[in-house]
Amino acid sequence: MSSKKKLVEICHKVYLNGFVAAYDGNISCRTSNNTLLITRSGVCKGDVSEKDIVEIDLNGNNFIGKQKISTEHKIHLYAYQKRKEVKAVVHCHPTYATAFALIGQGLDNHYLPEVFLTIGKVPLCKYATPSTDGVHKSLDPYINYSWAMLLQNHGAVTLGISLDDAYFKMEKLEHAAKIILLARLIGKPKELSKKNINDILKISKKVYGIIPDKRNI
């Protein structure tokens, strides 16, 4: 499958799963030529087709056509500039995760082993006016190691080594946020203990092929 087709597929998934509404969100991937494919501005992700995908360089310049790129393209550029292993970026407004961002809380505590291993801590980035340089600069404290971040009063960003990886991190983030919220409504969620975490770390490479970044634990 071509990168454009895959990007379209992921756009449709985030819309069908309710991670975005109307024209919200933006998704991108890095090409083998080190350019970016990103959704254009003002298009519903449920309606995206290949003609709605814009190719830009790492400075944000269009290669073909004059379509307006997503207003939050600087988030994507920043992630690719900072981390060579990042091949895809998904920015959405998922309901439950964004609810935490609205009350000024990151998902910093470890409750679920699979979330701890695949995403780690999900920090809260300070509020910045959408589409301004302040948004991508708000990622600064975490961009070098985090795979998922909440944007205060805005939404969420996930990074991945592929489009599927970035998408599934967004899906897992939203699922975890929903579980944690529901748990809080019926009681007090019990965090994983230090022993629980250390036990997971001991087997993470052998069993799951994952070596979590210590900065993200």
Q: Which residues contact 112 (CB under 8 A, 6 or more apart)?
A: 176, 179
Residue with tokens 């997503």: 70
Given the residues 9, 50, 72, 171, the one annotated as active site? 72
- How close are the terminal C-alpha atoms of the chain, in Å? 35
Cα 59 to Cα 56: distance, rounded to the nearest angstrom: 8
72 is catalytic: yes
The 3-state DSSP class for residue 25 equals coil
Among 172, 188, 181, residue whose Cα is nearest residue 122: 172
CB distance 55 to 39 below 8 Å: no
56-64 own/partner pairs: CB under 8 Å, 24+ apart? 58/34, 63/35
Which residues belong to the active site?
A: 72
